[in-house]
Amino acid sequence: MRSRRRDTDSSRALRSFESQRRDSSLRVRIDRAGARQGGADRGPPSASVRSLDALFSPRSVAVLGVSRNPAKLGYKLLENVKAYGYGGRIYPVNPSGERILDLPSVTSVAALPEPVDLALVSLPASAVADAIVDLAARGAKAAVILSSGFGEVDANGREAQARLLKTARASGLRLVGPNCMGVYSAPARLNGTYFWDLPKRAGGISVVSQSGAYGGLIFRHLGGRGLGVARFVSIGNQADVDLTDILEFLAADADTTLIACFVEALRDGRRFLDVAARATASKPVVMLKGGRSDAGRRAAGSHTGSLAGAYAVYRAAFRRAGVVTADETEEFFDAIEALAATPRRPSAPAIAVITVSGGPSVVAADCAERAGLAVPALEDAVRSALRASLPPFAAVGNPVDLTPQVEPSRIGDAIKLVFDQASIAGAVAIDVGLDIPEFADALVAEAVRTSKPVVAFATDAPAVSERLRSGGIPVLAGPERAVRAWRALWLAGRGAATRSAQTVRPLAPDVTALLAGTRGALPYDVARRALEACGVKFVREAIVQRPADAVAAAETMGYPVVVKADAPGLVHKTEVGGVRLDLRDAAQVRAACDDLRNRAGAERFIVQQQLAPGLEFLIGARRDEVFGPVVVVGAGGVLTEALGDVGIAVAPVTPADIQELMAEGVRARLANGPRGLPRVDVNALAETAIGVSDLILSEPRIREIDLNPVIASTSGMIAVDAVVVLD
């Protein structure tokens, strides 16, 4: 059972951070599912992509589960296929052989006149297995199983789902679903979903949703904003085709210019990272992750039958792959709209807020700083020049409030002054009710001239809104929403982390020998040696068997010293009273050893030089069940869990990754050095993190590594304890 295993500090800190008090029964179920769903038996990517042509561009479609009863979902499905003008051959399958919606039905799958490209399966769960057997036998290429009642219900459902997969794999039939809402493909004029009133506007946005209902919401919202959808698929339980498969198809799809995903859980995280990074190199990818809270996971687990994992790790992975992460529904749609409206991407996260309407610009500036965007003050020369041409009560600091009384002919020059400041990478423009075309025209002109992107909030200013939109400036429905949409442009522009390939140190031969045959928590000296071989610096110390040797070691290294208990499996020394600080003479060392033996079960003693007080950090790594090795950096020491301050990056990490992580949270303020303590050498911290990253990458059996604390001392980052846990 997982709950009995010893946790390292990094995993505890992560849990504290995420408040993941997971339901253990869910966890057990998911672990089983994870084992079953391993990606090892999957075909090569290119074949995978080719096989999805049958899904999105089928030459023929069979619809299973139709009837003449318009109240039935199967009827609706067939009606949708017909109504959207699908040009291929359509075969309703119904044992009666009657005409349905003016089409003759085929009495069975076996009786289909050809091996169809795509079957849409809307049968009761109990009838699905036979249908898939028949479709496989008849040579169908792809089947979308819209029926519910499989992996999302219980163990029986998961077994039934596994049998479907087995049948399909044996014949090369690709499966979408079960438990989904179907597939839509504008280039094929195919609506193979249960949604009957989808907007038909053409466009380049493709949508993958793990939730059918959320997918419907996306589809309708995009339509409501005048944005056209190219492809849509609701992937449900992902028995076979998963989100990454679709992403790979869409990345190569000429009809797709932007990809939007609602994801609850990914499976093969490393493959996802590769595929997503390739996708974001050519088009924006925006994701919203559901199932982040306990309750959200409870629901996600229940309705798609898969684990919704730690959000912080997903965010780190999305960041690595250049995916734009949206935290909320409207932020998601706004990001899509902004990214679809303009190809411009900012060079830095720094905006000007430019307005003719004071108050909402204040709110926008507040939001920008919350969202991690700078709102740099304008330079004195710019302010003076603005003062000279604007009304005296105009604001010229940034936000720049031209005021309603601005002389329209002066707007162009004023906005040009702002855009010309080098530290301004773009603008959020705000207009409440003042329909001054010059305002819009100036923004459009400056965006074109400087390639600095603009996102606007405009209301009750129809000419301004229209001119902005036709000039490629997205217009959103609130000041905060405009700010966050601008941030999406910034996130998309950063792209995937393009790192020089990391040379991951191989294990030193002696370390390979030390690790051979070990499992569980390594003895401290082995853990230390393995980490030292990866460049991690440790405190001066000696590991001894007898109190007398401890005294001798202390005399050699000089007082004060720390003595710690060491014993197999002893991970959290502080909690069992296994650490004695500030020992100043031989008698104190001897007494401490006796006590550690009696009370903490010490078998050996670690005698360490006592470092001068310094800030304590946690540097660790763990093997995430979705994304594999991740590195964790945060505030350490006894307050690790209380602070719950951790930054996460997917391994291998670079110095730049660690510097980015160290610029956030409590650790950023710590790194700036509180009073009276040495300043933190972030480069040295990054070297330590890279060492940890190397070690977990070079030995696949390592589950977790934990350096806590690593002390920022005057002589660099010094580890004083280490835990390495192997499977």
* Beta-carbon contacts of residue 262 (< 8 Å; ≥ 6 apart): 207, 208, 209, 210, 211, 214, 215, 218, 287, 288, 290, 332
Binder to a second copy among 135, 375, 442, 725 (CB under 8 A)?
A: 375
Q: How far is the CB of 200 from a second copy (least distance, A)?
A: 15
**Whose Cβ is closer to a second copy: residue 231's or residue 303's?**
303
Within residues 517-546, the interface with a second copy by CB under 8 A covers: none
CA gap 131, 54 in Å, rounded: 18
For strands 142-145 and 174-176, give the pairing. Answer: parallel
Residues 84-123, one symbol each (x = binds a second copy by CB under 8 A, - = not), give ----------------------------------------
φ/ψ of residue 173, rounded to 5: -75, 130
Residues of this chain, 199-238, that bind a second copy according to CB under 8 A: 209-217, 220
Of residues 122, 148, 161, 608, which one binds a second copy by CB under 8 A? 148
**Residue 126 sits in the site that holds a second copy (CB under 8 A):** no
Within 18-77, the residues that bind a second copy by CB under 8 A are 19
Residues 622-681 that bind a second copy (CB under 8 A): 638-644, 666, 669-670, 672, 674-677
Instruction: Indicate if the alpha-carbon torsion angle 711, 714, 717, 721 is positive or negative.
Output: negative
Q: Does 162 interact with a second copy (rule: CB under 8 A)?
A: no
DSSP for residue 123:
-
| Nearer to a second copy (CB atom), residue 34 or residue 637 | 637
Give phi and psi for 460, each to the nearest 5.
55, 35
**Residues in the chain, overall count:** 727
> Could you tell me the smallest distance in angstroms from the CB atom of residue 163 to a second copy?
18
Q: What is the dihedral of CA 663, 668, 672, 674, to 10 degrees?
A: 170
Binding mask 447-466 for a second copy (x = CB under 8 A): ------------xx------
If the CB atoms of residues 394 and 606 are measured against a second copy, the closer one turns out to be 394
**604-609/541-544 β-pairing:** antiparallel
User: Phi, psi (5° rounding) for residue 285?
Assistant: -125, 125
Residues 697-716 that bind a second copy (CB under 8 A): none
262 binds a second copy (CB under 8 A): yes
Q: Which of 151, 146, 193 is nearest to 303 (CA)?
A: 151
Name the 3-class secondary structure at 144. Answer: strand
> To which residue do tokens 């210019």 refer?
257
Under the criterion CB under 8 A, does residue 479 sit at the interface with a second copy?
Answer: yes
User: If you ran DSSP here, which 8-state letter would residue 378 be given?
Assistant: P
Q: How far apart are CB 654 and a second copy at their closest, in Å?
A: 26
Q: Which stretch binds a second copy (CB under 8 A): 57-65, 114-122, 136-144, 478-486?
A: 478-486
Residue 44: cis peptide before it, omega within 30 degrees of 0: no
Q: Which is nearer to a second copy, 273 or 338 (CB)?
A: 338
Q: DSSP for 472-529?
A: T--EESSHHHHHHHHHHHHHHHH-S---PPP-PPPPPHHHHHHHTT--EEPPHHHHHH
Residue from 10, 80, 179, 693 binding a second copy (CB under 8 A): 179
In this chain, which of 105, 361, 608, 610 binds a second copy, going by CB under 8 A? 361
The yes or no reply on residue 439 touching a second copy (CB under 8 A) is no
Among 36, 50, 99, 370, binds a second copy (CB under 8 A): 370
Distance CA 628, CA 632 (A): 13
Find tokens 């031209």 and name the residue: 402
In the complex, the smallest distance separating the C-beta of residue 40 from a second copy, rounded to whole angstroms, is 29
Q: Does residue 403 bind a second copy (CB under 8 A)?
A: yes
- Cα separation, 276 vs 161, in Å, equals 27
Which residues, in sequence order, are CB contacts of 666 under 8 Å at separation 6+?
A: 634, 635, 643, 645
**345 lies in the site for a second copy, by CB under 8 A:** no
Residue nearer to a second copy on the CB measure, 90 or 635:
635
| Residue 193 contacts a second copy per CB under 8 A | no
Tell whether residue 510 is a contact of a second copy (CB under 8 A): no
Complex with a second copy: residue 30 or 368, whichever CB lies closer? 368
In the range 285-324, which residues lie near a second copy by CB under 8 A? 288, 290-296, 298-300, 302-304, 308
Residues in contact with a second copy, total (CB under 8 A)? 98
- Judged by CB under 8 A, the stretch of 61-69, 386-394, 465-473, 617-625 that binds a second copy is 386-394
Structure tokens given for 683: 């480069």
Q: Between 155 and 656, whose beta carbon lies closer to a second copy?
A: 155
Question: For residues 153 and 591, which CB has a smaller minimum distance to a second copy in the complex?
Answer: 153
- Interface with a second copy (CB under 8 A), residue from 95, 102, 380, 393: 393
Burial of 87 (0-12, 13-18, 19+ CB in 10 A): exposed
By CB under 8 A, the residues from 574 to 593 that bind a second copy are 574-575, 577, 582, 584
Q: Which is nearer to a second copy, 101 or 666 (CB)?
A: 666
Considering beta carbons, is residue 405 or 683 the nearer one to a second copy?
Answer: 405
Buried b (16+ CB within 10 A) or exposed e, 387-399: eebbeeebbbebb
